[in-house]
Amino acid sequence: MNASSTSFRRGSFDESPSRVVVDLVADCEDTSPTELSPPLYSAIDPDALDELFRSRSTETSDSPGHVRFSYLGYEVRVRSDGDVEISPRR
C-alpha cells in the first residue's frame, strides 16, 4: 500500500465486480491494473466473485448480501446492489 492510498474508494459494477476491484486498487496504488502484484486471484477467485454477483443484472433479489476480503493491504467489500468499496485495512 503506497502513501497516497489512505483514502476510501468506491465504484460500481454491472457485470464484473472483479474488474472493478482491480481497477480501484490499481488507482489506490497509482499503478496499472496489470502491474498489481500479487494478482487478485491470490486473495479471491475472480471468476467465482463474478459468478456470485452475475445474477444481479438479470434478477431482482430481496436479500442483500456482500463479500468482504483483504487484498494488497485494503479491505474490499463487494455488495449485491453493485457497489464496491475499497479502504485501507486497519
DSSP for residue 36: -
Tens-place pLDDT, residues 29-69: 999 999 999 999 999 999 999 999 886 555 555 668 899 99
Q: Is the pTM of this model over 0.85?
A: no
Q: What percent of the chain has pLDDT over 70?
A: 82
**Any idea how long the chain is?**
90
Looking at every residue in the chain, the average pLDDT score rounds to: 86
Contact 86, 10 (CB under 8 A): yes
| Predicted pLDDT of residue 4 | 45
Please choose, from the candidates 57, 56, 31, 58, the residue with its C-alpha nearest in 3D space to the C-alpha of residue 66: 56
d(CA 5, CA 42): 20
**Residue 81 clears pLDDT 60, i.e. is over it:** yes
* Backbone phi and psi for residue 27, each to the nearest 5 degrees, phi listed first: -60, -45
Domain residue spans of the chain: 11-88
